Amino acid sequence: MTVSQQIFTKEEQHKPQKSGAIRTAKLAQRVIMIIIGSAMMSVALEIFLVPNSLIDGGITGISIMLSHLFDIPLGILLTLLNLPFLVIGYKQIGKTFALSTLFAVVLMSIGTYLLHPVNPITVEPLLAAVFGGVILGVGVGLVVRYGGSLDGTEIVAILVSKKLPFSVGEVVMFFNLFILSGAGFVFGWNNAMFSLIAYYIAFKLIDVTLEGLDQSKSVWIISDKFRDIGEALTERLGRGVTYLDGEGGFSGDEKKVIFVVITRLEEAKLKTIVEDWDSDAFVAIGNIHDVKGGRFKKKSIH
């Protein structure tokens, strides 16, 4: 049995059947939102940032600099440089995330190719940084919100944070400051500072689009099907869960509360898992600024 067959089998074992119409509607919604997000990313890059020699952070920023230095189409670099991280994402987060990310990256690459001949809306670096950052942030936020990603930096940061005493956010910030500093040598320091403005705006807009999501999320779930949901989270998401005893303040009934800590890239899949078992389950999600120690390490889902 192959790895993909093992994952498929485990997901099917812990996934109740839903009506075809509902599943089709949710899949269509995910596809449409990823298409919109990828298109916005392409517009931000080719209509605002790249023509003004501005970059974004992460793999996208590296791709922009390499495209400028070696005259390689940006779309090709975006696809090739993100491929290794798709493999990592497949192993660490799951098949759905990897496929969604592959779909988003390919769309973004095609979009940058098609928009490359289009004239930029503005040649004023500050305006390009502001509007490019806004469009980019919303686009990336939409893709992440619906279960994918447009950059491999966060996946690497999740792995590095498990080995070093730094949070995911700190690792991402370090990577991007290093990349943005490199822009100073390639495009000049004025453009590097404008790129930093675009990156900061995009970073904030991602959080706004994701309704305040941070790198890690604490989740409390109350449901009569707590055992089924807990086992599904462990098998399909690879996260360990904790069962807490609770009591209804109004009814006085005893309740079981599921507690689990996830990354923001896993939130969309967690909601799908819970809704598959109990659409009326109570789900509360909170921000965690840092996670250290304990048993937060992700279990294998292979």
Task: Indicate the number of domains in the chain.
Answer: 2
| Band (110; pLDDT cuts 50, 70, 90) | very high
Asked if residue 15 lies in contact with residue 232, where contact means CB atoms within 8 angstroms, the answer is yes
Sign, CA dihedral 270-275-277-279, equals: positive
The parent domain of residue 127 ranges over 22-211
* Residue whose token pair is 């309740």: 255
Does the structure show a pLDDT above 50 at 237?
A: yes
Q: How far apart are the first and last CA of the chain?
A: 11
Does the structure show a pLDDT above 70 at 16?
A: no
- Over residues 172-206, the pLDDT tens digits come to 778 888 888 888 898 989 999 999 999 889 888 88
Same structural domain, 206 and 221: no
- Over residues 69-84, the pLDDT tens digits come to 998 999 899 989 988 8
CATH code for position 274? 3.30.70.120
In a domain, 17, yes or no: no
CA–CA distance, 93 with 158 (Å, rounded to integer):
10
Same structural domain, 162 and 238: no
Same structural domain, 137 and 70: yes
Asked if residue 29 lies in contact with residue 287, where contact means CB atoms within 8 angstroms, the answer is no
Same structural domain, 140 and 164: yes
Same structural domain, 166 and 271: no
Same structural domain, 262 and 144: no
What letter represents residue 27's amino acid?
Answer: L
Of 30-34, 134-138, 227-231, 246-250, which gets the smallest average pLDDT?
246-250
Which value, to the nearest 10 degrees, does the dihedral of the CA atoms of residues 83, 117, 139, 124 take?
Answer: 120
Q: Which among 183, 211, 239 is the end of a domain?
A: 211
In a domain, 12, yes or no: no
What is the pTM for the complete model shown?
0.67
